[in-house]
Amino acid sequence: MNIRICPGRDEHIEGCIQSIKHSVLWDTYFQYLPELDSMFKGGVSKNQIHVALNAQGRCIGYIWVQQDGAFSHFPYLRSFAVQRRYRNKGVGTALLKYFEQVVPSHRFFILVSERNDAAMRFYERNGYSAVGKIPDLFREGVSEIILTKHLGSDHQKKTLLHI
């Protein structure tokens, strides 16, 4: 599939919201958020959202990354979705690879709801490993699985960590 990935803009927000609908992510969390539009506007204004555009320039998926969202040092994939009719066509893989190539890090973190088996399989196929579990983090009765991927010394960027 021919897609282009670029920084998200306000005109992509509706496409981002459509990407979440009809998903476990929507069913578990997002359908309960009354200010979804303003939440995405905040992510766009902070340059945290990147979108996948189809050949017609329409947003068909997005990835929301907080550069230092994990332990104030490592990138955290806050949210990630592809519109239902574009799933299983390589769009999600392209967005994930984009994330790993563009963000200057050698280790990445993601949380996945224990209810989201398809997402767990997707991330495991792409080299992510479960390293822990946090019960009741965002919703009571729903645990989050902590996933991480380490690219190894060949991909490490020179960083200074002050502890």
What contacts 20, CB < 8 A, 6 or more positions away?
26, 30, 79, 81
Using one digit for the tens of pLDDT, what is the confidence trace for 7-33? 999 999 999 999 988 888 788 877 767
Using one digit for the tens of pLDDT, what is the confidence trace for 43-101? 999 999 999 999 999 999 999 999 888 888 889 999 999 999 999 999 999 999 998 98
Enclosing H/E stretch for 141 = none
- Listed by start position, the domains of the chain span 4-150
Q: Which residue has the higher pLDDT, 159 or 98?
A: 98
Tokens 């332990």 locate to 71
CATH 3.30.1280.10 for domain 4-150:
no
Say how far apart CA 116 and CA 7 lie, in whole Å.
27
